[in-house]
Amino acid sequence: MDYNNADFLTEKILSGDKRALSRAITLVENEDPRAVKIERDLYGNTGKAYRVGITGPPGAGKSTLVNVLAREFKSRGNRIGIIAIDPTSPFTGGALLGDRIRMGAALADPDIFMRSMASRGGTGGLARTTTQVADVMDAFGFDVLIIETVGVGQLELDIAGSVDTTVVVLVPEAGGGIQAMKAGLIEIADIFAINKADRDGAEILKSELQDALSLMPAIKNSSWDLPVKLTVALEGKGVKELVDTVYAHKDHLEQTGKFHINRQSQAEIKIKDIVRAEVAKRLWMNPELSTMMDSLSRFCVEGKIDPYTAARSFLRSAEVQKV
């Protein structure tokens, strides 16, 4: 038995071995076949961690906030797992190093485990395997999972489908409320944190946001009043209140039954992803279909057929062959 063996890793993860956890996460990230076995065997132990997403524009102070949030959650008796989605290339390591420095204090803590992932291959500001990594960390026994993802235009929307509470971090700047509305951040936010509130304009942004919110009927009619909190992550200010607000949102989800509904739609997304990948694999790996694809693509270039008709004949052929 060793750290390359799936059963060994599963057993060690359940007994709290962080080295096994790190190793399994690497297998998941690399989409190694052993990861599927580990994920399946661990699945019965997932679902206990409360998942909090931290998103927002680059440089808003998300990592700094995650660091202080993690310590606040810990002071309330929780063990914390952090996943930081690094928007840059996995090969430079630059942002990874940066995150390690900004989260320095939290990292030295045995109750806080941090993992950076490259966002490559994924959409929605999440790495493709983020939810699988989160599941493995969940099974390990963390009480709270914090997922940091960079907000890049529309692309952070996926985070909202992967966590229980989404905190959108903004910073004071002119027109920030309008920008948040345009970028669709209001739709995904469960809580707003205006960070860098030590700077001018935080109160103005807060009232801008509240004005924008009052204009949105869907949000006005919701039984959850979208809170806008001020934080100074660098000084740890407002962090207790922010954690209180996360717990208030959790209570709201549980009391309204939304917690269960959200978790179910997250499970549906996971199943669909697996089905999609499996279908694609079957189609692309089939030798006869592959030959057919060669011809079809050639016919397209030669102007004999359009891609839609080509796709339809391809699918018909897959059906006939019962692929």
Ligand X SMILES: Nc1nc2c(ncn2[C@@H]2O[C@H](COP(=O)(O)OP(=O)(O)OP(=O)(O)O)[C@@H](O)[C@H]2O)c(=O)[nH]1
Query: Which stretches of the chain bind ligand X, using CB under 6 A?
Result: 58-64, 102, 150, 195-196, 198-199, 232-234
Letters for 53-82 (x = contact with Mg ion by CB under 5 A, - = none) are: ---------xx-------------------
Residue 59 partner contact from Mg ion, ligand X, none using kind-dependent CB cut-offs of 5 to 8 Å: ligand X
Question: Which residues, 114 to 153, sit near Mg ion by CB under 5 A?
Answer: none
DSSP-H helix ranges across the chain: 6-14, 18-29, 33-42, 62-75, 94-102, 104-107, 130-140, 157-160, 176-182, 185-188, 202-214, 217-220, 239-256, 258-285, 287-301, 307-320
How many residues belong to the site for Mg ion (CB under 5 A)?
2
Q: How far is CA 13 from the centre of its chain?
A: 22
Within a 10 A sphere around the Cβ of 73, how many other Cβ atoms?
Answer: 24
Q: Report the nearest approach of ligand X to the CB of residue 58 (Å).
A: 4
Residue 60 partner contact from ligand X, Mg ion, none using kind-dependent CB cut-offs of 5 to 8 Å: ligand X
- Ordered strands of the 144-150 beta sheet: 112-118, 80-86, 144-150, 50-56, 165-170, 191-194, 228-230
Residue 112 belongs to what H/E stretch? strand 112-118
Residue 176 partner contact from Mg ion, ligand X, none using kind-dependent CB cut-offs of 5 to 8 Å: none
Q: Report the nearest approach of ligand X to the CB of residue 62 (Å).
A: 3
Residue 198 partner contact from ligand X, Mg ion, none using kind-dependent CB cut-offs of 5 to 8 Å: ligand X
Residue 234 partner contact from ligand X, Mg ion, none using kind-dependent CB cut-offs of 5 to 8 Å: ligand X
Q: Report the nearest approach of Mg ion to the CB of residue 58 (Å).
A: 8
- Which residue lies nearest ligand X, judged by its C-beta? 61
Residue of 69, 212, 224 whose CA lies nearest to 146: 69
**Bridge partners, 85 (sequence order):** 117
Residues at the interface with Mg ion (CB under 5 A): 62-63
